[in-house]
Amino acid sequence: MSDITVILDAMGRGTSGASEELLPLVYDELRRRACRLLSHEAPGQTLQATALVHEAWLRLGRESERTWSNRVHFFRAAAQAMRRILVERARRKGSLRHGGGRERVNIDDVDVKAAALSDRLLLIDEALSRLEIQDPESAWITILKFYGGFTNREIADIQVVTERTVERQWAYARTRLFKLVVECESCES
């Protein structure tokens, strides 16, 4: 077992001080993933990778169920925590009381790569919430890729499948997400 898994096991048994031992082991990897996630943010944005990692760490520590079975389980939970933080931040930025405004757009006219990160996060989160209900496996691939910053190789290692299988699953998940975004658009009209 890796050092991380040993410490996670100790945390699950309630060993005091185990969480203080975990942070130094996972911090660099969490920060690297947060940097990759925030690299598409517009210049001048206020959220830094360090702040995202610290907020995710605090949330992970507050969760009532603080036991993770292994390294993979922990990083999945961390990716989910980062997702929640970024989505909440995007919603705050877009709320009317914070000067934002929502306008209807046609999905065919949206260049997701050119859109601001907060706009993309809200768009993806809405579709992802629906996908979690319809196809949890595709939703996890998306969360690991988009919010966790995992590569296809890393996801393949996590799921104990080939990288080609992950590539097919990711292509399928992307297609499902885009279809859900179109459905969301047609429901609003």
Q: Which residue from 161, 160, 123 is spatially nearest to 142, judged by alpha carbons?
A: 123
Identify which has the larger pLDDT, 94 or 35. Answer: 35
- How many other C-beta atoms are found inside a 10 Å radius of the C-beta of residue 13? 8
- The structure tokens listed for 99 are 């000067």
Decide: helix, strand or coil at residue 152.
helix
In the prediction, which pLDDT does 142 show?
85
Mean pLDDT, residues 23-49 taken together: 81
State yes or no: pLDDT of 96 exceeds 80.
no
State yes or no: pLDDT of 106 exceeds 80.
no
In the prediction, which pLDDT does 43 show?
65
Q: Where are the domains of the chain?
A: 3-188
State residue 70 phi and psi, 5-degree precision. Answer: -165, -175
In the prediction, which pLDDT does 131 show?
87
Mean pLDDT, residues 77-86 taken together: 88
| Range with the poorest average pLDDT among 39-43, 172-176, 179-183 | 39-43
Mean pLDDT, residues 97-123 taken together: 55
In the prediction, which pLDDT does 107 show?
46
H-run or E-run covering 172:
helix 163-188
pLDDT digits (tens, 9 = 90+) for 136-161: 888 888 888 878 888 899 888 888 88
